[in-house]
Structure 1
Amino acid sequence: MAAALAWLPRARADQPAVRGIDRTEGDSLGTLQWPDLRREFIGEGAVAFSDRVRVRVPETADDPLNVPVMVDARGLAADGVRIRLIRVVVDRNPIRHVVDFEPLRSLPVLSLRLKLEQASPVRALVQAEDGAWHVAGAWVQAAGGGCTVAGSSRTDGSWSRTLNQVRARLFDNVIEGSRRLRVQVMHPMDTGLVAGIPAFHVERLALLDAAGQPWWRLALREPVSENPSLGFELPLSLSGPLRLRGQDNNGNPIDAVLTA
């Protein structure tokens, strides 16, 4: 999957205008990190700051180890933009890359919790099928330290008894026309920034239907919170048994059957 995500074609110079777009090259959030972020995570592709992508975060992070974030790119999809990838990054984290989400046949909506080292913008970089990037973000105030302290399961040693166990639940009528899937994977999600504890995190997940076809794929990085709690919006047409498969960066498998 990493190889597939690495191929990012450039946008066409004649790409059509999309409603809600600011095509200026300046950073809508005004941080000094934006030029580096753009070079690292977007490259030379066309970039537009868009109000058709929503990033929902708390104004202040009471717990920097568990900051809730929701990215909703349905506004772009409603304008006819086909979405290839949703990338979440944090400007001022020591590890800025959080997740890469390929919606595939699910809705372009993702919720998660992440670690925040200090007050920072949280950004969604949304890549369309034509290669263009649509960017949105929001500031979160935080006392900090979320990336450089151990989580509770690492501290008390309980992580080894529950490693890669999966909890899941489906909800109806949360967003009209879809079903919400909440998934939790038990894992310490160590950043590697705590003395004596190497990086250890869930690396990839995919939701498969009964035919083995993926409905979404997710690549996770160290800043995702301990025991990742993830939310997805699935079409009502999805039925039958579902399977969550993946692994962590040490090769430990994740495999669970979910009932739709």
Structure 2
Amino acid sequence: MVRFLFLILLAAASVVQAAESDPLQSPMWDYTREQFIGSAPYRFDERIKVSLPTFAENPTQVPLQIDATALAGDIERIVVWADLNPIQHIFTYFPHPDVIPKVSLRFKVQQGTAVRAAVLTQSGVWHVGFSYLDAAGGGCTTPSTGNASPYWENHLGETQSRVFPLASDGGVRFKFKVIHPMDTGLADAIPEFYIQQVILRNAREEGLARLELSQPVAENPVISFDLRDGLSDKTSGYQLWMRDNNGNEFEKAL
């Protein structure tokens, strides 16, 4: 009987939790929640940091950092989206348990919107961080500058990378830039053409970080991953692998 009552209370708590109202009161919250985390239990969590500028000066290149280090070691995946973008999903990140769950990149924004990072833990609960980005808009429907230039055709997939020490914990940050137009398919007569997958592997070819990208990621993506000190002993052994939606594959030693 006690066990039965406990299960009823647990179910009731889940229902209350699922009905938690959106602090940003976005009209798209219920829809995007259903799309990206479904009916799973969730809670809004201030420990999940979504860092954005107050205003998007350039709506085609908005810097974004997701920091879920407070839940390090207990993360299944991180899903990031913008409520009011025409293509809402920005990326999904699958960090290795030994990797610092912090990632940065730039993305396109169509108008002022809530930006979310939902972190799924091994317990099956989503922890949702958020921030609001003000923007004049138009970033998702603006043609890429590379599309109008022959440069990218000759340099497609060219990658530059650097490694930076992290003074705070002795780890390292891998930062790379890859030449790619990242077309959304929303500009007239320009089909979607974007990098879909990014995998960081160590010298033993183990995947330490995997990103699944969508069209709103900015042209010529600049992405950074943070690794703990125990993983950074032999930085020359790391490889970056990428594939776009046309089947082109790119690989770079970091």
How does the TM-score come out when normalised to structure 2?
A: 0.89
Matches within 5 A, 1:71-90: 71-77=66-72, 82-90=74-82
Matches within 5 A, 1:184-199: 184-199=177-192
RMSD: 1.8
Matches within 5 A, 1:94-173: 94-104=86-96, 105-173=98-166
Q: Secondary structure at the match of 1:159?
A: helix
Aligned to 1:29: 24
Show structure 1 runs of 5+ residues with no match.
Answer: 1-12, 16-21
Structure showing greater Rg = 2
Instruction: Tell me if the contact between 1:23 and 1:49 (Cα under 8 Å) persists in the aligned partners.
Output: no
Q: Distance in 1 between matches of 2:156 and 2:213?
A: 16
Asked if 1:65 is matched to 2:57, the reply is no
Q: Distance in 1 between matches of 2:91 and 2:242?
A: 14
Task: In structure 1, give the amino acid aligned to 2:121.
Answer: A
CA separation of 1:141 and 1:257: change in aligned 2, threshold 3 A: same
Write the deviation string for residues 138-168 of structure 1: whole angstroms up to 9, x where unpaired: 1111110000011211122321121111111
Aligned to 2:36: 41
Asked if 1:214 is matched to 2:207, the reply is yes
Instruction: Tell me if the contact between 1:203 and 1:248 (Cα under 8 Å) persists in the aligned partners.
Output: yes
Deviation at 1:246, TM superposition (A): 2.1
Q: Distance in 1 between matches of 2:102 and 2:88?
A: 20
Instruction: Tell me if the contact between 1:164 and 1:186 (Cα under 8 Å) persists in the aligned partners.
Output: yes
Aligned to 2:239: 243
Task: In structure 1, give the amino acid aligned to 2:243.
Answer: Q
Deviation at 1:14, TM superposition (A): 5.7
Write the deviation string for residues 193-242 of structure 1: whole angstroms up to 9, x where unpaired: 01111110001011111111111111111000001101111111223311
Q: Distance in 1 between matches of 2:36 and 2:135?
A: 24
CA separation of 1:175 and 1:160: change in aligned 2, threshold 3 A: farther
Once the two structures are overlaid, the 10-residue window that deviates more, 166-175 or 111-120, is 166-175
Deviation at 1:174, TM superposition (A): 4.8
Once the two structures are overlaid, the 10-residue window that deviates more, 232-241 or 170-179, is 170-179
Q: Secondary structure at the match of 1:27?
A: coil
Instruction: Tell me if the contact between 1:54 and 1:73 (Cα under 8 Å) persists in the aligned partners.
Output: yes
Deviation at 1:97, TM superposition (A): 0.3
Task: In structure 2, give the amino acid aligned to 1:102.
Answer: F
Instruction: Tell me if the contact between 1:59 and 1:141 (Cα under 8 Å) persists in the aligned partners.
Output: yes
Q: Distance in 2 between matches of 1:233 and 1:14?
A: 37
Query: How many pairs align?
Result: 238
Q: Distance in 1 between matches of 2:99 and 2:179?
A: 23
Instruction: Tell me if the contact between 1:174 and 1:180 (Cα under 8 Å) persists in the aligned partners.
Output: no
